[in-house]
Structures are given as C-alpha cells and as structure tokens.
Amino acid sequence: MDKTPKNEPDEPVSEGIPAPDGPANLIDTDYVIGQDNITTNAMGLNLDLHGKVFSISAIIVLLFVVLTLALQDTIAPIYDAIFGFLTGNLAWFFILAANIFVILCIGLIFSPLGKIRIGGADAKPDFTYMGWFSMLFAAGMGIGLMFFGVNEPLTHFGSSFDGGSWAPLAGAEGNAAAAEALAMAATIFHWGLHPWAIYAVVALSLALFSFNKGLPLSMRSVFYPLLGERVWGWPGHVIDILAVFATLFGLATSLGLGATQAAAGLTYLFGAPESDITMILLIIGITMIAIGSIVAGVDKGVQLLSKINIILAAMLLFFVIAVGPTLMIATGFFENLWNYAVHLPALSNPFGREDANFSQGWTAFYWAWWISWSPYVGMFIARVSRGRTVREFLVSVMLVPSTVSVLWMTTFGGTAIDQYVSQGIEAVRDAGVDLQLFIMLEQLPLSQITSFVAIVLVIVFFVTSSDSGSLVIDSITAGGKVDAPTPQRVFWAIIEGAIAIALLLGGGLTALQTMAVSTGFPFTIILLVACYAIIKGLMSEPKAV
C-alpha cells in the first residue's frame, strides 16, 4: 500500500511524519501537543494539564458557582435575561444555522467526499457497530428521551388541540387527529435530524482534524483553517475554555436536576423519602459508578455501560410496543415520519414565524440546548469514530438515531396521547414532567417492573453522560491529550458531582443551566466555522478507494 501522503501543493506534509492508516493529508504545523502543558508529580499524583485552559477554566467555574450560590436572587434574573434575549431575538439565527448543518450533512452523505475515511484510507474501526452506536446514542440524548418522550408530544398535543399561543404552527384547534399529527411532527423535529446534525458537524470536524490532519483532539483544532497557527494562542484558549464551561455546567446542572427527577420517581414508586439526602445519595452513587467507568476506560467502562443502557432501553421500548397500542404504534411510526416530512419546511422556517412562542420558546431553546451540548457529545463521538467513512459516519450519527427517535417518540408519546384521547385517562397529562413516564407505564401491565427498569435507565444514562463528559473535559484541559494521567479524569467527575450537590443544596441549578445553555450562541458561530472547516478539510483529503 502506498503510504506516501498525496500533498496539496500549498499544504506540504511535515517531512518525516507518515500519514495515518493509508493516504491522508496532515496539516503542517510546528505545534507539539502538550507543549503548553504543565506536568507535575505532587503527592504521588502525576498531572499533565494545559496551564492556561485548565487554570482559567477552574477559576471561571469556581467563580460562577460561588456567584450563583451567593447572589442567587440577583444573578438568576441576569442569566434569564441573557438567555431570553438570545432565544427571543436570535431564534432565526439558531433555526437558520441548524438548517445549514442538516443540509451540509445530507449533502455530504451523497457527495463523493462521503467516501473519505476518518483516520486515513486504510484505518480500521475501533468499535463494533453495536458498541459504537450504543455510545453515541447514550451520550447524545438518552436521558432526555426518558423524560421528554412522554411529556413533549403530550404538551404539543394539548396546546395544538386547545389552540393556545404555544402551539406549533398555530395549532389545530378542536381537531384531535390534526393536533396529534402536529404534536408528533414538532416533537420529532426537536429530536430528529437537526440535533443529530449539530452533533455530527462537531464530531466530524474534530475527528477529521485530529485523525486525518494530526491536530490535537480539542475544539480549537477546528479553527485551524481559519486562524492558522493563531489557534495555539489565546483565540484557541478561549474556544477551549468555553467548551469546558458549557460541558461542565451542562453536565453538573443536568446531574443535579436529573437527581431531583429520579428522586421524584423513587418516591412515587417505592416511597423513598423525598429529601435532600436521597438526591445527594443519588448524585454520589452516580458519580461513584461514573468514576469506576472512567478508570476502566472507554472500551471496558463507557462502552459496556452504554451497551447495557441500549439493551435495557430497547427492552422497555419493545415491551411498550407489545403491550401498548401495537397497531397504532406500527402505523403511527410511518404516519409520523410522513407528518414530520410534511411539516418540516414550515417548522424549520427561520423567518416570519407567527408561532413565536413555539419557535422561540421551544425550537430556539432546543437548538441552543443541543448546541451547548455539542462540544461534549461531538468530541466524544469523534474519539470513538476512527475508521468510519464520512458517509458511514453521517448515516450512523444522523439518520439512524433520528429514526430511533421517531420510533421512541411514537411509542411513548403516541401511547400517552392514545391513553388520554381514546381511553380518557387524564392522569398522564396532569402529572409533572418527572412522573409522566411512570404514570404512562402504570396504565400498562407489569408496571412495577417497567417502572423499575425506567428508573435504572435514567440513572445509568446519567452515568454514561458523566463518564464520557469527564473524559472530554479532561482531554480539553490537557491540551487535547487523551493519555493524560487517570486521576485527572476522576477529578472532573468528582467536580461535576460536587457542583451538582452544592447547587442542589444552595439553589441555582436552573439558573446556572440557563447560563450553560446560553453558550449555545457562541457555539453556533463555532459550528458554522466547523462547517467551513469540514468542507475545506475534506476537499484536501485523498479519496478512499
């Protein structure tokens, strides 16, 4: 096999650096990974950290936690105002950008660039399809599907049927069938192609610039085509610090809020005392399992837990399909795909929307949310995707999970709507978001078992977020190194748990989460740059045979 890189005349490959597996086009840079790192051996612990990114991130994190705890009443409205401004005034920007991501990804699937392989033309995948898919799904949205699978379709159905101002596309007042179609289309819109395209853009750009171009696995590397060597300086530091901020606070606040929701489930099902102690024990438990998982590593920890998760989730899904309204779900799957396709142009229209509450309060909120999660999910997906072709990658990261989302939403949301509309059961609709899933399951046989499985799923989904998130934060704060000493990963997992507990006790979880989601705005700009970088990077790659 010819291992000589085929160079672009203007982008010479460093002399003496062989390409990855088979032809690829390395970027020529003098930057040595870890050159700005501080290494120390304090108290028997080896540390290897990017001096500026680690210390500034740590200071900012501490500052925000202290500020939020101390000045909660003052600062929460400020966070809310920032986020309100972003979704209110820039909804069009989020919606437009997300459309660009979807179009780019679909375009790449069908273009000849789709043949390019991540890691070089001869690279072999590190994981099986099952292991790979489990990890990207568990990291991507697992937990949200548990809570919003029932809640969101029901909520949209309610607002569409009642003709409220929050209805998607002005709703379908009094028409149950049309309201259901609209509700399912809107839900799938928020959980389908768009979020996965957002993740795919980040993941593909990072994978490409790390595995094929030889740059560190860090957000800043994506900016290389735009900023050149300047990415190793302050512009790069700022991008990486922002990624740490979004990931850490996104994970910590979700962990805190998730513990509240899981505790509500435990109280409802088993009468566990609804106290801070229950929630703190949950957070500690989740963090401990996550630590075990990250010490065991990506293959033996994260992958194993993700597989367990996906198997449990599939069992729950097929159980509900089997004992729930099976025929309705089977036909509903195709109907909902059709509804999604029919309503997609109107739902994704960024301009002149008349359903401002929906497009700003729901869609823009979701897009900011997914985008703020994208550095973490994207970087994790990138790390496990070596050896896949661009086409295989995009089909697996975008089309397959979107299809699973449609099936999941049809099953859980469709069953809940059916219980409400056909059977007149109002309990599901009236319950809080953290209990709706359990009340829906209660209407089906063996609810004690399925509810228990659901609780376990919620907890394990949190573990898989916490462990992969800690790996990502560790690699960013170690200057893109994935082989930094293990105690550093443990440190980040503990910090996540500690922030979650501090905010749970002191208040401010929702406030800080709002701030974390606000990072969706700068990241949207970063993702747009990533789109440019992907095209430029792929164009300079030799095609796989």
In the bound state with other proteins, the residue whose beta carbon lies nearer, of 154 and 207, is: 207
Q: How far is the CB of 519 from other proteins (least distance, A)?
A: 24
Reference 119, options 382, 411, 373; nearest CA is: 382
Provide the token pair at 526: 């970063």
- The single residue among 65, 139, 141, 217 that binds other proteins, judged by CB under 8 A, is 217
Considering the rule CB under 8 A, would residue 52 count as an interface residue with other proteins? no
Q: How far is the CB of 422 from other proteins (least distance, A)?
A: 48
Considering the rule CB under 8 A, would residue 305 count as an interface residue with other proteins? no
Q: How far is the CB of 126 from other proteins (least distance, A)?
A: 5
Cα(387)–Cα(393) distance, integer angstroms: 9
Residues 26 and 19 sit within 8 Å (Cβ to Cβ): yes
Cα(126)–Cα(144) distance, integer angstroms: 27
C-alpha triplet 299, 306, 197: angle, nearest 5°: 100
Count of residues that bind other proteins according to CB under 8 A: 46
Reference 516, options 378, 373, 380, 381; nearest CA is: 373
Long-range contacts (CB closer than 8 Å, 24 or more residues apart) made by 300-304? 301/467, 302/135, 302/464, 302/467, 302/468, 302/471, 303/127, 303/131, 303/134, 303/135
Considering the rule CB under 8 A, would residue 480 count as an interface residue with other proteins? yes
- The single residue among 80, 92, 111, 126 that binds other proteins, judged by CB under 8 A, is 126
Helix (H) or strand (E) holding 50: strand 45-50
Residues 186 and 358 sit within 8 Å (Cβ to Cβ): yes
Cα(130)–Cα(128) distance, integer angstroms: 5
**Which range of residues in 33-41, 107-115, 313-321, 416-424 is near other proteins by CB under 8 A?**
33-41
262 to 301: interface string for other proteins, x by CB under 8 A: --------------------------------xxxxxxxx
Helix (H) or strand (E) holding 86: helix 72-110
Considering the rule CB under 8 A, would residue 384 count as an interface residue with other proteins? yes
- The single residue among 133, 157, 199, 211 that binds other proteins, judged by CB under 8 A, is 211
SS3 39: strand
Q: How far is the CB of 12 from other proteins (least distance, A)?
A: 14
In the bound state with other proteins, the residue whose beta carbon lies nearer, of 403 and 486, is: 486
**Which range of residues in 84-92, 308-316, 404-412, 475-483 is near other proteins by CB under 8 A?**
475-483
Q: How far is the CB of 108 from other proteins (least distance, A)?
A: 22
Q: Which residues pair with 14 in a beta bridge?
A: none
Considering the rule CB under 8 A, would residue 4 count as an interface residue with other proteins? no
Q: How far is the CB of 221 from other proteins (least distance, A)?
A: 9
Considering the rule CB under 8 A, would residue 194 count as an interface residue with other proteins? no
What's the 3-state SS for 232-281? HCHHHHHHHHHHHHHHHHHHHHHHHHHHHHHHHHHHHHHCCCCCHHHHHH
Q: How far is the CB of 441 from other proteins (least distance, A)?
A: 36
404 to 433: interface string for other proteins, x by CB under 8 A: ------------------------------
Residues 257 and 386 sit within 8 Å (Cβ to Cβ): no
DSSP string for residues in 341-376: HHHHHHHT--SS-S-HIIIIIIIIHHHHHHHHHHHH
Considering the rule CB under 8 A, would residue 15 count as an interface residue with other proteins? no
Q: What is the CA radius of gyration of the chain?
A: 23
**Which range of residues in 206-214, 233-241, 460-468, 533-541 is near other proteins by CB under 8 A?**
206-214
- The single residue among 192, 216, 265, 520 that binds other proteins, judged by CB under 8 A, is 216
- The single residue among 97, 146, 150, 215 that binds other proteins, judged by CB under 8 A, is 215
Helix (H) or strand (E) holding 40: strand 37-42
Considering the rule CB under 8 A, would residue 16 count as an interface residue with other proteins? yes
Considering the rule CB under 8 A, would residue 45 count as an interface residue with other proteins? yes
Considering the rule CB under 8 A, would residue 497 count as an interface residue with other proteins? no
Considering the rule CB under 8 A, would residue 348 count as an interface residue with other proteins? no
Cα(448)–Cα(366) distance, integer angstroms: 32
- The single residue among 214, 250, 256, 497 that binds other proteins, judged by CB under 8 A, is 214
Binding positions for other proteins, rule: CB under 8 A: 3, 14, 16-21, 26, 32-35, 37, 44-45, 119-120, 126-127, 210-211, 214-217, 294-301, 383-384, 386, 471, 480-487
